[in-house]
Amino acid sequence: MKTIHLKTTILTAVISFFAVNFYSNALAEETHYPLTVKNCGRTLVFNKAPERVVSVGQNTTEILYALGLSDKVKGTALWYSPVLPQFTEVNKNVKMLSHDVPSFESIIAEKPDLVASHQEWVIGPAGSAATYDQFKDFEIPVYTAPADCVGKDNLAGSDGLRTAPFTMDLIYQEISELSVIFNVQDKGEQLVKELKGREQAAIDKVKNLPKGKLSAVFWYSSADLDIDPYVAGDLGAPGYIMKILGIQNVIKSDYEWPTVGWETIVKANPTIIVLAEMDRRRFPADDVVVKRDFLKKDPVTKLLPAVENNRLVNMDVQSMNTTMRTIDGIEKLANAIVELGLEKE
CA-to-CA distance for 273 and 268, rounded, in angstroms?
A: 12
| CB neighbours of residue 4 within 10 Å | 10
**pLDDT at res. 160:** 75
Q: Are residues 142 and 214 in the same domain?
A: no
Q: 150 and 53, same structural domain?
A: yes
The pLDDT, as a whole number, for residue 345 is 59
pLDDT along the chain (345 residues), means of 10: 36 46 58 98 98 98 99 97 96 97 98 98 96 98 97 81 94 98 98 98 93 94 97 97 97 92 98 96 95 98 97 97 98 97 79
Verify that 337 and 270 share a domain, yes or no.
Answer: yes
CB count, 10 Å around CB of 37? 17
Distance, CA of 7 to CA of 13 (rounded, Å) = 10
How much is the pLDDT for 254? 86
| Residue 200 within a domain | no
- Regarding whether 322 and 234 lie in a shared domain, the answer is yes
Residue 277: beta bridge partners? 316
Question: Is 26 part of any domain?
Answer: yes
Asked if residue 162 is part of any domain, the answer here is yes
CA distance linking residue 307 with residue 215, whole number of Å: 14
